[in-house]
Amino acid sequence: MGLESNLSQPFLATRLDEVINWGRKYSMWPMPFGTACCAIEFMGVVSGRFDVSRFGAELVRFSPRQADLLLVMGTITQKQAPVLKQIYDQMPNPKWVVSMGACASSGGFYDNYSVVQGIDEIIPVDVYVAGCPPRPENVLGAIVKIMEKISTEKAAEWR
Amino acid sequence: MTESDILTKVKARFGARVLAEYSFRGQSAVTVAPETLRELLVFLRDDVEIALDWLMDVGGVDYLGYPDDDDREWRFEVAYQLYSMKLNHRFRVKVGVRDDSVEVPSVWDLWAIANWEEREVYDMFGIRFAGHPNLRRILCHDEFVGHALRKDYPINKRQKLSQPSEIILCEKVEWA
């Protein structure tokens, strides 16, 4: 018999970061900031065929205060930029940002007076998704990328 | 009544006050000066044979640098697209605006939708509408300087907004 036979409860030995990151990456709560057609594509991501709940991120919150994954899906105008900044600031740490589609990532073909040329002018972005709009698989791919990023993080770095 | 019939009727009534006319493939339009505009629109709306009861759109045009166009006496035009829901025909009225010192009379009391349409023309071209109850920008943000669809606005000049706009609730308006 091993060591555990001397203890009343079974246990696992691991590192704190491993446990916390494991919990975080399989229970992301997305906040959809959908402003254009990419948000329509996101409906496909959430519903049955593609099913984002396979990755534990199906609990879509429409309050930034309850979310840790900001999905920016669509064109962000100069008029809306301070709103997006405020939404991001309202999210509690830890938090991650996915920029979905050409418009959110670079302004897309809206190289004009009214559109922000990529949301990284306003807020930090973890994963960019290419496409106009991207396929649902690409969004799932971005969520997997975020998971990979989370698993390399140190829990104490977030405050 | 076809659009060219409307054109004939307008010319018979307004004579030399019709500054320019246009007819192509069944579409017709007249250009008038700002001081004639309201009288013409009221005529087109209230005449029983014409009955253009719906103002579909108000748009602006900037002719700065327009090719082969040196003899045009105005830089801007405001175009009113009219439609008759009763008789199913259309007509277009344009106003020549020499520069942004000229005010165009507002028609928001004739069609309530003109309130927002004129704000859009003001926002994009800087054309002011006399008698408008609330001539503020409608699309660009409040810190925006200049007018984005003018031909001399730099094509990709962007202007940042420092904070979210206040949501302003409209006061109750008594429609005429």
Which chain A residues are closer than 8 Å to B124 by Cβ? none
Q: Do A82 and B139 touch (CB under 8 A)?
A: no
What does the radius of gyration of chain B's CA atoms come to, in whole angstroms? 17
The pLDDT tens digits of the residues spanning B132-148 come to: 998 988 999 888 999 99
A-B interface: how many C-beta pairs under 8 angstroms?
A: 39
**Domains of chain B with bracketed CATH:** 3-100 (3.30.460.80)
Q: What is the DSSP letter of A143?
A: H
Residue from B124, B147, B153, B161 to probe the interface with A (highest A Cβ count within 10 Å)? B161
Domain boundary assignment for chain A: 29-152
Taking an 8 Å cut-off on Cβ atoms, the answer to whether B159 and A86 are in contact is no
Q: What is the CATH number of domain A29-152?
A: 3.40.50.12280
ipTM exceeds 0.90: no
Q: Which residues of B touch A90 (CB under 8 A)?
A: none
Instruction: Judge whether B149 and B61 are in contact, CB under 8 Å.
Output: no
Q: What is the pTM of this model?
A: 0.83
Nearest residue in chain A measured CA to CA from B163: A82
Strands A96-100 and A30-34: unpaired
Tokens of A41: 């594509």
Q: Is B92 helix (H, G, I), strand (E, B) or coil?
A: strand
Report residue A4's pLDDT band, with 50, 70 and 90 as the boundaries.
Answer: low
Give the C-alpha separation, B114 to A117, whole Å: 33
Number of Cα atoms under 13 Å in the Cβ half of residue A28: 30
Q: Chain A partners of B160 at a C-beta cutoff of 8 Å?
A: 78, 81
CB pair distance less than 8 Å for B163 and A82: yes
Tell me how far apart the alpha carbons of residues A40 and A74 are, in angstroms, rounded to a whole number: 10
Residues A125-141: tens digit of each pLDDT: 999 999 999 999 999 99
What is the rounded CA–CA span in Å between residue B58 and residue B95?
Answer: 11
Q: Cα-atom radius of gyration of chain A, to the nearest Å?
A: 18
Rounded to whole angstroms, the Cα distance separating A94 from B108 reads 51
CB-CB under 8 Å, A114 with B140: yes
Q: Kind of pairing, strands B27-32 and B128-130?
A: unpaired
